[in-house]
Structure 1
Amino acid sequence: MNERILRAEPYVLAPGQRVSDDWDFQPEMRMLASGNQTGNALTVADCSYDAALFGPPLHIHENDDEAMFVLEGVVTLQIGEERHELLPGSFAWMPRGVPHCFANLSGEPIRVFGLSAPSGFEHMLTAIGEAMTGEDDPIRAYRLGEEIGRRFGFRVIGPPLWEMPVHGTVVGP
């Protein structure tokens, strides 16, 4: 859970630069703002994923709201019972408590601008990254991620998107 929101100092990042938090374990994620920079108000990341992103399982965030803006490629997003194919320029808002998951099912790279408010999501990603360093067993890695996620209010409630049947796809926002 987050500390209270504090006053933050202004800052600017140059192209390719990211905040000083240690994100070497997840090079596809360019962290633009974390709680350290925003006074715990939000987390912002520019995420580039290759064609093999399976994405997280169906889950809810108990402590934060999440937003996604697609910059490149096609992201398949499930919110509740609806599946969406998000094209570049599409935006999705996923309030806390709403089941969702996403994946790259297109076979092409994707790039997404992600936001989480309040901040704290980055701490979960750091803990998972540290725990999984050197972990070769995918089942153990999945269980570690699920266990750590629960501590941060990330609750898995179903399978990943690529294992779900398609009930109806909504194209675009």
Structure 2
Amino acid sequence: MATVSIPAAIIRTEGQGERRWFFGGGVHIWKARAAETGGAFLLFEDRMAGGKMTPLHTHPDSDETMYILEGEILMHMNGEEHRIGAGGLAVAPRGVPHAFMVVSESARMLCLHTPGCCEAFYWDASAPLSPGATGGDGAGPVDLGPVDFTKVQESARRNGGIVLLGPPPFAPR
């Protein structure tokens, strides 16, 4: 008789999940890891300071969905810019060039990758934070260190999951 593996249920409450400082800026709170979902998806909360922006990039093998919980971002997708506030959603299908910038004082969003194949990139481009670290628990600023795009680029090269196309496409404000 064959054995069938069924992923375990995942329950995490507000603020629960491994906290990691992302070298591209912001604190990731990992809500569901790819191994926990049988590879179906990766879900993390991203807490970011105003002005944080991403380089123009694509995810060749996953769709990226961003649901804004608090604050506002400017999303650059397919050459067009869109302002997205709390309760708003952006979906970047695999291969579609996109970038975003936090235009409010701070922002929180859920980031969902389907499937969860980008996890190695994010893991390698981040460092663990202690459970009570500033920004990881909602108290205090989310800017915990210098942005280091060299580390982000190295993780992309080593792990795939993302293709960096160029610098952030936003005009100075």
- Using structure 1 for the length normalisation, give the TM-score: 0.75
Pair 1:137–1:46, CA change in 2 (3 A): closer
Q: Which has the higher helix share?
A: 1
Question: What is the CA–CA distance in structure 2 between the aligned matches of 1:97 and 1:15, rounded to whole Å?
Answer: 32
- Give the 3-state SS of the residue equivalent to 1:89 in structure 2: coil
Cα offset for 1:165? 7.5
**1:77·1:86 contact (CA, 8 Å) conserved in 2?**
yes
Counterpart of 2:41 in structure 1 is 42
Tell me, which stretches of 5 or more residues in structure 1 are unaligned?
Answer: 1-5, 131-135, 167-173
Trace 1:104-123 onto structure 2 (pairs within 5 A).
104-106=102-104, 108-123=105-120
Counterpart of 1:16 in structure 2 is 15
Counterpart of 1:67 in structure 2 is 65
Question: What is the CA–CA distance in structure 2 between the aligned matches of 1:62 and 1:93, rounded to whole Å?
Answer: 14
Task: After superposition, give the CA deviation of every residue in 1:63-119 in whole Å (9 maximum; x if it has no partner).
Answer: 11100111111111000111000011111110110000001133x111111100111
Identity of aligned residues (%): 27
- Using structure 2 for the length normalisation, give the TM-score: 0.75
Counterpart of 1:153 in structure 2 is 161
- Give the 3-state SS of the residue equivalent to 1:48 in structure 2: strand
How big is the alpha-carbon RMSD for the aligned residues of Structure 1 and Structure 2? Answer: 2.4
Counterpart of 1:170 in structure 2 is none
Structure 2 residue 80 is matched with structure 1 residue 82: yes
Cα offset for 1:13? 1.2
Pair 1:25–1:111, CA change in 2 (3 A): closer
Trace 1:156-171 onto structure 2 (pairs within 5 A).
156-162=164-170, 164=171
Question: What is the CA–CA distance in structure 2 between the aligned matches of 1:75 and 1:29, rounded to whole Å?
Answer: 17
Tell me, which stretches of 5 or more residues in structure 2 are unaligned?
Answer: 128-144
**2:28·2:45 contact (CA, 8 Å) conserved in 1?**
yes
- Give the 3-state SS of the residue equivalent to 1:11 in structure 2: coil
* Paired AA for residue 94 in structure 1: A
* Paired AA for residue 155 in structure 1: V
Cα offset for 1:52? 3.6
Question: What is the CA–CA distance in structure 2 between the aligned matches of 1:73 and 1:32, rounded to whole Å?
Answer: 20
Question: What is the CA–CA distance in structure 1 between the aligned matches of 2:86 and 2:161, rounded to whole Å?
Answer: 29
Structure 2 residue 96 is matched with structure 1 residue 92: no
Question: What is the CA–CA distance in structure 2 between the aligned matches of 1:67 and 1:116, rounded to whole Å?
Answer: 6
